Amino acid sequence: MTDPEKPSKNRGSRRSDVTASSKLPATEELTEKRGGLGKNGYHQFKGFGFEVPLPQWGVVAVTALIVLGVGATLWFTIVLPHIENDKRLISQDAYLQLAEYQKHFTEKPAYDSKVYEDKSGDLSIKVFSSDGCLHVTRTSVNPGVQPLLRWVLNPSSVPKDSPPTPKQADLSLSFKHEALAGNCLNPHPGQFRFWSNNQNGCWQQVWRQWPDGCEHYQFYNTCYGYFDPQVHWTLCYH
C-alpha cells in the first residue's frame, strides 16, 4: 500500500519532463527572435518566387548584390544620362575650357608674366607645369570691360583625330568633287568670303570663296582650335 504523504518518484519525474518540454519551444522561439536563425543557424531567404536556406554570410552577399544592382541601375538610368545631357547643353570648346579651369584651380603656375602692354590693355600668360597648359588673359584699360580668358592646351596632349569623310559625315556636310583641272594658288590672293555648315562632332566644315570664283573647304577642329592641313579645292579658274 502506498503512503499518501510521500510523493511518488515517477510522478515527480513526469512533472520534470513536462516542465522541460514546456520550456523547449520557448527557448527555440527566443533564439529565432534574437538571431533570426533556424535550428541549423540558417536564414530562410524568400524572393523571386522561391525559398532558400542561407547562412549568415550568404545573406550578406545576396544583400550586397541587390544593393549594387540597384546602384548600377540608378547610375545608368538617371545619373549618367544627366551628366551626358549637361555636356550637350554647352559646346565642346566651352566644356574643355571649363574642365581646364577645374583641373588647375588649386595649382600654382610655374610661370606668370605680362608679355605685352599697349594703350588698350595688356596680355598675360600663366604656364602650368603639371601638363604644360597655358592660361592667356587679355585685359582692357577700360574698367567696365571684362578680361578675355583662354586656356591653350599643350599640343602633345591633344588627342589625334581626323576630319570626317563623306561616308562618316552627317547630311549637314557638303562634299563636292574636287577640281580636276586648273591650278589654284594656295594661299589664294585676295579677300575671300566664308561660311560654314553644321558641325560633325568637333569638326566644322569651313568654305571659302574668292571673287574670281575659286572655292575650297577646310575642316576646323572647334574643340582644340586648329585647322586640318588638307585643303579641298572644288572650283579652280587658273
pLDDT, one tens digit per residue, over 176-231 is 555 554 567 888 889 999 998 767 888 998 999 999 888 888 899 988 889 999 88
Compare 156 and 77 and report the one with higher pLDDT.
156
d(CA 133, CA 44): 60
Q: Which three cell numbers stand for residue 26?
A: 520557448
In angstroms, what CA-CA distances link 70 with 63, 64, 65, 154? 11, 10, 9, 41
> CB neighbours (10 Å) of residue 197?
16
- Mean pLDDT calculated for residue range 42-63: 68
Beta bridge partners of 195: 207
144 sits in the region (left: phi over 0; alpha: psi -120 to 50; else beta) called alpha
Residue 118 scores a pLDDT above 70? yes
Compare 190 and 76 and report the one with higher pLDDT.
190
d(CA 151, CA 41): 64
When the pLDDT of each residue in the chain is averaged and rounded to a whole number, the result is: 75
pTM of the model: 0.54
pLDDT level of residue 115 (50, 70, 90 thresholds):
very high
Q: Which residues are CB-contacts of 131 (< 8 A; sequence separation ≥ 6)?
A: 103, 153, 154, 157
